[in-house]
Amino acid sequence: MRKKMILILLIVVVVMGILIASYLSMSTESSGLKTSRFLVGEKKIEVEIADSTSTRATGLSYRNSLDEDRGMYFIFNSLSSHSFWMKDMNFPIDIIWIKDDKIVGVAENVPNQPGAQLWQLKSYSPPEPVNRVLEVNAGWAAKNGIKIGDRAELTGS
């Protein structure tokens, strides 16, 4: 009987370890999204592509971090004033507003809002209609000299 209890306990510990490891890897790196190389200004980075309603809605929510020189690239079907909020975000970001392949605005150091209710979340909008948005770690745009008028485009996988 004692051996059975030890075996059951061991199995539970192993299963819990696997679940925790899976959760941690999902929340930081593997999203299952398509990735591609991206040129923004003079800087090349790796981006995850958010090009469906569900991937755009989720964005970087629930993740604990974003690796340096990585981003999420949102592709919309039309030019519009696509607004963003920090719902369920765990870290601050820079939001780079792109019209076709040209940067038209940068919202720097957008803070996350832990514990905020939906009606309390601040909304961020581009200075003019856009069809692309790039999210990167807070401070990344300034650190890399990104400015309005710079090119921003996919360069391949």
Residue 120 has what pLDDT?
92
Are residues 51 and 76 both part of a single domain? yes
Query: Do 151 and 107 share a structural domain?
Result: yes
Q: Identify the CATH number of the domain in which residue 44 sits.
A: 2.60.120.1140
- Are 14 and 84 found together in one domain? no
Q: pLDDT value at position 3?
A: 76
Q: What is the pLDDT of residue 50?
A: 96
Per-residue H/E/C for 83-127: CEECCCCCCCEEEEEEECCEEEEEEEEECCCCCCCHHHCCEECCC
The 8-class DSSP code of residue 68 comes to T
Expressed as residue numbers, the domain containing 7 is 1-30
- pLDDT computed for residue 25 by the predictor: 42
Which residue stretches of the chain have pLDDT < 70?
7, 9-10, 12-31, 157
